[in-house]
Structure 1
């Protein structure tokens, strides 16, 4: 469904003149990095309890 609202990528394009596709890709990469770091930290071996 189309609406009059704009995505964050579109708003950043208007503010910086960098294409929305670049902003969308950047947000996607940042999201994947956060997920990867979370999974890595969750699955990391824990030091033995004292």
Structure 2
């Protein structure tokens, strides 16, 4: 995304491909993270949390 508007790269011409390329892996990783967090495979250290829940 940092080079999205670089003239030589011209990413701005490929926005239709960008969104699926970002959304498909993001969906898989969010599912994976939530599954592993609920199963207790990994979690968050309470020492580094603010206490604000979303």
TM-score (norm 1): 0.46
TM-score (norm 2): 0.43
More RCO (CA 8 Å, sep 6+): 1
